[in-house]
A and B are shown apart, each in its own frame.
Chain A
């Protein structure tokens, strides 16, 4: 299925959860926040949040700033 990941189209094999997606991307879930269709998820909800075709996912972390 195709989702929108950080603003860009992204192909991914479903079914999968947000936790699965982070694992596939080799992203440490403890260091990011995820917004799923404009709703910010709690970290303990990552393994329950099922991703569907067309979903919009934003994954953010901390970077240098002032």
Chain B
């Protein structure tokens, strides 16, 4: 895997971590919780490399 691809996967992992962190910290808005989860979907699929 080229170095640039490794970087992209690292960025993806970082974004997943940030979204999960925000999801855990969110206490009031169910809408925001749902949005965090929806945004997570393509990132998780990318990391799992499901084809």
Q: Do A and B bind each other?
A: no
Which A residues lie at the B interface, using CB under 8 A? none
Which B residues lie at the A interface, using CB under 8 A? none
